[in-house]
Chain A
Amino acid sequence: AQRVTQPEKLLSVFKGAPVELKCNYSYSGSPELFWYVQYSRQRLQLLLRHISRESIKGFTADLNKGETSFHLKKPFAQEEDSAMYYCALGGTGGGNKLTFGTGTQLKVEL
């Protein structure tokens, strides 16, 4: 069974500090991984996907198959980064199903 683990429910950092949101996955095939962000009481938005290898809003994430991780990183946190972040794993079944982690609430303090 596929599984996504986000070990931190809450991560609190100061503005300007580096951010790393952890995500580990369990999957037997070739994974497709995503990060979604949800700002307060808004809909979830795609932040980035590993296959595109892009940087969005200063965030990057590298897929490490050896450690089965897809950690989200940003060198300097901004106040507007405060949000809930979900890591998601693409499935093998039909319909492009995603399995989501439990989420990490990022709080950037001044």
Chain B
Amino acid sequence: NAGVTQTPKFQVLKTGQSMTLQCAQDMNHNSMYWYRQDPGMGLRLIYYSASEGTTDKGEVPNGYNVSRLNKREFSLRLESAAPSQTSVYFCASSLYGYTFGSGTRLTVV
């Protein structure tokens, strides 16, 4: 029972590079989310998808884009990475309460 799977687990980018964080869930959940976790700031919502085919901005969407590819997959893209995007990124899906992925630790230098 995989739950929510995120790839990669670690990534180092140079300023200006792009990358896509992948997330997949096997629980048939409608809703999926991307959060970033920063020290002293808790988890902040970047984007979410209430159902397949829909996406909406969260609290901190600037610099990010998302794609809800199908019901299982929800990807997060950084088009031009900046040092301020150094963070731990968590994907989650929900039915009644969230199930989180294991996180992606991203460093932008």
Residue count of chain A within 8 Å CB distance of chain B: 21
A41 to B: closest C-beta gap in Å = 8
Total A-B pairs in contact (CB under 8 Å)?
A: 52
- Which residues on A sit within 8 Å (CB–CB) of B41? 102
- Which residues on B sit within 8 Å (CB–CB) of A101? 42
Q: Are A102 and B98 in contact (CB under 8 A)?
A: no
Residue count of chain B within 8 Å CB distance of chain A: 26
Q: Are A97 and B45 in contact (CB under 8 A)?
A: yes
- Which residues on B sit within 8 Å (CB–CB) of A9? 40
B12 to A: closest C-beta gap in Å = 17
User: Which of B48, B92, B99 has the most chain A CB atoms inside 10 A of its CB?
Assistant: B48
In the complex, what distance in Å separates the CA atom of A32 from the CA atom of B101?
22
Which of A44-52, A53-61, A75-83 lines the interface with chain B?
A: A44-52
Q: Quick one: closest B residue to A46, CB to CB?
A: B97
A1 to B: closest C-beta gap in Å = 10
Chain A interface (Cβ < 8 Å from any Cβ of B): 6, 9, 34, 36, 42-46, 49, 86, 94-103
Chain B interface (Cβ < 8 Å from any Cβ of A): 31, 33, 35, 40-45, 48-51, 56, 58, 90, 92, 94, 96-103
Other 9 A-B pairs with CB < 8 A, given A97-B45, A100-B42: A36-B98, A43-B103, A44-B92, A44-B98, A45-B100, A94-B56, A95-B48, A95-B49, A100-B43
